[in-house]
A = this chain, B = another copy of it.
Amino acid sequence: MLPGQITLLEAHGCEPAALRAPASAQALFEEIVRRLDLRPVAPAAWHRFPEPGGYTGFLLLSESHLSIHTFPEHGYAAVDLYCCKARSAPDWRGLLARHLGAREVSIRLVDRGVRAAAEEMP
């Protein structure tokens, strides 16, 4: 089945300042797009929340989407890359360390288009 894979990234131990300034994630998005040869179909959308000042970013891609949600109060960011075409994985840990100061990164790949019954994932 074609419809691709979603990569769920959990970045812990980030610099709170990087999780309050969308410029950090804008640079992260730009590097992901460049390294994976992705094709945005519109400019990224950004929304900053009131204190503690996290933000959401979303980029529509020809290949599906890239999103980030930051939680400066937890030093945590969630990054999702939904890609309906195969891409080799970049060095996610290096990317998230460089742009967000992440010290610990969890990477999960979930295939889309499955027909499994309802289930809970850890």
Residues of A within 8 A of B (CB): 1-3, 6, 8, 10, 12, 41-42, 45, 47, 49, 56, 58, 60, 62, 64-65, 67, 69, 71, 74, 76, 78, 80, 82, 84, 104, 106-122
Contact = CB atoms under 8 A, between A and B. Distances in A.
Main SS of chain A's interface residues? strand
Nearest first, the 7 A-B pairs at minimum CB distance are A107-B118, A110-B121, A41-B47, A78-B112, A47-B60, A106-B116, A58-B58
B113 A108 contact: no
A80 B7 CA distance: 13
B71 A65 contact: no
A82 B78 contact: yes
